[in-house]
Amino acid sequence: MTTSYITHADCLRHEMGAGHPECPERLAAVNEQMRASGLLETLRCLKAPLAAAADMKRVHQSDYVESIFRNSPSQGYAQLDPDTAMNPHSLQAALRAAGAGLLGVDEVVAGRAANAFCAVRPCGHHATALRSMGFCIFNNIAVAAAYALEQKGLKRVAIIDFDVHHGNGTEDMFSLPHWQGRVMMAGFFQHPFYPHSGTRNPAPNMVNVPLPAGSGGAAIRRAMEEHWRPALERFAPELVLISAGFDAHAEDLLGGMALVDEDYVWMTRELMALAARHSQGRIVSMLEGGYNLAALGRSALAHVRTLAGAV
């Protein structure tokens, strides 16, 4: 069994203006690490398909999805919110990013791959049902989770979010009673920090572990062992989805946490062990944040190499 690596050149054409930290070079850095290390040629490399509006509407409000299609500019930029903009290629990139997750779910459910990594942008976990936010247009991981539950017949899906920022959009969507019992979300995030959410009365299916700036590997291990693992073992997910942001890395100055490459290997192994016990090993991991190009490339490589069993 192999690891699928799902990406698309369209995801390199979305950009939000000079100096924006969520830049095409991020994805190029990830792809380059995969290629230069020789790992890429051992993976099942697939092009991300386009998600359909109907796929987005399982978690986003219809009006919002239609407004994104309508706002796509033919030139220049359409500013969606203070942090997020569209250029003429962004709609296509956003549909590929969400589509990658759908294909990833197809791959692992059909048993064509043991697990999948989606090297995509724009990222997704801040996008709520109603709006774009924090560099995110469509909530890729949520679109994948809803697809697995409503189209592929799975009963329980876990989402693990290890980005330095709280995945407020994913939490907003899956806190609804409609999803509770079918989705569990577990994550750590720097607190207090953008987007200043995740700490007040989370829904019972949310396992949120806020951590102070400076937290490193020891704090992550405690979060996993004391909070995530017991809840996830009880929940027994049939599929594990990962919002894989690498901005909790010590070298990432957008975040203030202190993880090192090896911490991503450890977390990946833990999640693989969980998936082996409950989910037939099925994991779909999707790129979220990560803004130091060198640390992002190395950490993503460490993560995918571990998924591929190549360490």
Q: Which residues bind Zn ion (CB under 5 A)?
A: 163, 165, 245, 247, 289
Nearer to Zn ion, 175 or 190 (CB): 190
- Determine the 3-state secondary structure of 280 from DSSP: coil
Residues recorded for the chain: 311
Catalytic residue from among 14, 126, 278, 303: 126
Distances (CA, A) of 1 to 48, 86, 107, 301: 20, 38, 11, 19
Classify residue 242 by its DSSP letter: E
Residue 191: closest CA among 159, 216, 166: 166
State which residue, 122 or 289, has the beta carbon closest to Zn ion.
Answer: 289
Q: What is the C-alpha to C-alpha distance for residues 65 and 59, in angstroms, rounded to an integer?
A: 10
Minimum distance, C-beta of residue 288 to Zn ion, in the bound complex (Å): 6
Which of 221, 231, 224, 268 lies closest to 246 in space, CA to CA?
A: 268
Q: What is the smallest separation between the CB atom of 155 and Zn ion, expressed in angstroms? A: 30
Q: Could you give the angle at the alpha carbon of 153 between the alpha carbons of 271 and 117, nearest 5°? A: 35
Q: Which residues of 265-303 are buried (b: 16+ CB within 10 A; e: fewer)?
A: bbbbebbbebbeebbebbbbbbbbbbbbbebbbbbbbbb
Task: Give 104 or 289: the residue with its C-beta nearer to Zn ion.
Answer: 289
Residue with smallest beta-carbon separation from Zn ion: 289
Closer residue to Zn ion, CB minimum distance, 101 or 245? 245
Give the tokens for residue 1: 């069994």
Question: CB-wise, 83 or 247, nearer to Zn ion?
Answer: 247
Q: In the bound complex, what is the minimum distance in angstroms from residue 257's beta carbon to Zn ion?
A: 10
Alpha-carbon separation of residue 98 from 62, 170, 235, 262 (angstroms): 16, 14, 25, 28
Q: If DSSP codes are grouped into helix, strand and coil, which group holds residue 29? A: helix
The two three-digit tokens of residue 44, written as one number? 């099942």
126 is a catalytic site residue: yes
Q: Left if phi > 0, otherwise alpha if psi is -120 to 50, otherwise beta: which for 246?
A: alpha
CB of 248 to Zn ion, least distance (A): 8
Rounded least distance, CB 69 to Zn ion, Å: 26
Q: Tell me the closest approach of the beta carbon of residue 25 to Zn ion, in angstroms.
A: 16
Residues known to be catalytic: 126
